[in-house]
A and B are shown apart, each in its own frame.
Chain A
Amino acid sequence: MSKAPSTFGLLEPFQYEFFRNGMLAAVLVGALCGLIGVYIVLRGMSYIGHGLSHAIFGGAVVAFVMTWNFYLGAGAWGFIAAVLINQTARRTKINADAAIGVVTTASFAIGIALVSRYRNFTRSFDAALFGNVLGVTPRDVLAIAAVLLMVGFIIFFGYRQLLFSTFDAEVAAVYGVRTQWVETLFALVLAAAIIASMQILGVTLIAAALVIPAITARLLTDSFNRMLLLSTLCGALTGFFGMYLSYYVDVASGASIVLLQASVFGAALSAVSLQKRVGSRLLRTLQ
């Protein structure tokens, strides 16, 4: 049942602790995915977010079954998956997209196999797949904030190294950029970001949150700097308003955030196309 917000009722959801935690987490996750998404999109790796989130699902189930710490278990699993993809693509004749297909689906299948074998965590399984804002704790919010800070630090200080290896990875190595290190760091950061986002967005929707803000920002600016800022802002704002939407329309938080992002992308695409059309018509009139 959906709820209609009154003028003063906009603050109403904040009386619930779960909403406050969820809102904070959604804004941070949105910003985090927006920031990393720029590098993912420009490296032509949009598929990796999708694949790695599925791989990490396998890791999360293994961590659960083995009673390991979720963040460490799933994190290590995701990192290993990312490195495996990288090394398979680098050292064999197999392309990165095929390597992603093999490594991540195999990992996801391990998760499914364990879930079907141990049938006692159906609810956690749903939450991991589709996100569950009710389960966000202050500890989760802190973990997401820590990942966002780490990513911000790496991007601020490693800006040009990342720019170079994104633009021209092979030649960057000749210029002294430790591309192997950069790739490893990137895999680590991506795994951390996906784990941090799982609770809010769910495995199935993380890829969209990694890609949509970045491509929206790309439509709106030609500057790498501004693209980073816009994409982060777009992710954070859609996280904020997506959470509101989720509360009032009564749908899963991940779905409302991603649908809002898709709408913003659609609006940006229309605005840019319209601007181009008007611009070329004006030019023809002037000529």
Chain B
Amino acid sequence: MSGPPLLAFDRVSFRYSGEVVVEEVSLSVQAGEFVGLIGPNGSGKSTLMRLGVGLLRPQSGSVRLFGQPLARFREWPRIGYVPQVAAARPGFPATVREVVSTGRVGRRGLFRRLSESDGHAVDLALESVGMMPFRSRLIGELSGGQHQRVMLARALAGEPELLLLDEPAAGVDAVAKLELLNLLRRLGQDTNLAVVYVSHDFETLRPYFNKIALLNRRLLFFGTREDLGEQQDVERQLIEAALASDHHEHRGA
């Protein structure tokens, strides 16, 4: 495999108020890979994503993007990111197309207006997530699932090489979820796009990933789908952790 990994965590740890959320995690993502980051609620998946895009700084260990240390990395247009809870702004007066077009600003820089080719990229992104018919709708008028698709279109509009998706299918129905997965797989094959897809829905998504990272604060497993098949004990650990977290949540509720 040529070139440095697009994203590399090296023994990364992070604590919130003294509580360890991510512990000594090391993994890397290469071009064209479709990596599933799987773990129960509270396992540190979203924190790891936020560490990966520089929204949080690790307390120990290091993160590298496209071979560069995070602190020195400036090529943000190479990255697309969809957060777990996308900003819900019910009264915000911007259309779907306007919001998606903001995904191009990193490529233009400050004080350079968007060109015709930017508009074309925006339309393509809208088409690819099936939101073209909604392009003139206000962003606040969309359902949760449609909103997530717009956020994905915004990420795709920037034509990234690495896409980090934090539970992108939350609130999306089963059919739309499969369409999204097929789209991402196709983009990976056609454009060599690398995708990190965060989810706790392991069984549905398993066939789509060519690499799987199982996380429960610590990395339990990182490797190919086939390798995982031989490690039943890791899966069992994860399922137990998921059940424990669900049990804990229900008791909390």
Contacts and interface: CB of A to CB of B under 8 A. Distances in A.
Q: For chain B, give the interface size range.
A: 35 or more
Contacts of B91: 218
A175 B87 contact: no
Contact of B79 (A42, A170, A174, A224): A174
Nearest to A177: B105
28 contacts: A157-B113, A158-B111, A159-B113, A160-B101, A160-B102, A160-B104, A163-B98, A163-B102, A164-B102, A167-B89, A167-B139, A168-B87, A168-B89, A170-B55, A170-B83, A173-B54, A175-B76, A175-B79, A175-B81, A175-B158, A176-B77, A176-B107, A176-B109, A178-B110, A222-B93, A222-B138, A223-B95, A224-B98
A157 B111 contact: yes
A179 to B, nearest CB: 11
Nearest to B140: A222
A221 B99 CA distance: 17
Interface residues of A, number: 26
Interface of A: 42, 157-161, 163-164, 167-168, 170-178, 181, 218, 221-224, 227
A227 B110 CA distance: 22
A186 to B, nearest CB: 13
B220 interface: no
B76 A168 contact: no
Nearest to A161: B105
Given A167-B139, A168-B89, A175-B80, 16 more contacts: A158-B110, A158-B111, A159-B113, A160-B101, A160-B105, A160-B113, A161-B105, A168-B87, A170-B83, A174-B79, A175-B79, A175-B103, A176-B76, A218-B91, A222-B138, A224-B94
B106 interface: yes
A267 B95 CA distance: 26
Contact of A176 (B93, B105, B138): B105
Given A158-B111, A167-B94, A167-B99, A177 B83 contact: no
Given A160-B101, A164-B105, A167-B102, A221 B93 contact: yes
B99 A160 contact: no
B110 A181 contact: yes
Q: Main SS of the interface on chain A?
A: helix
Contacts of B138: 222
Given A172-B102, A175-B76, A167 B93 contact: no
A216 B25 CA distance: 51
Interface in B21-37: none
Contacts of A224: 93-94, 98
A161 B110 contact: yes
Contacts of B234: none
Nearest to B87: A168
Contact of A174 (B53, B86, B94, B108): B53
Contacts of A167: 87, 89, 92, 94, 99, 102, 139
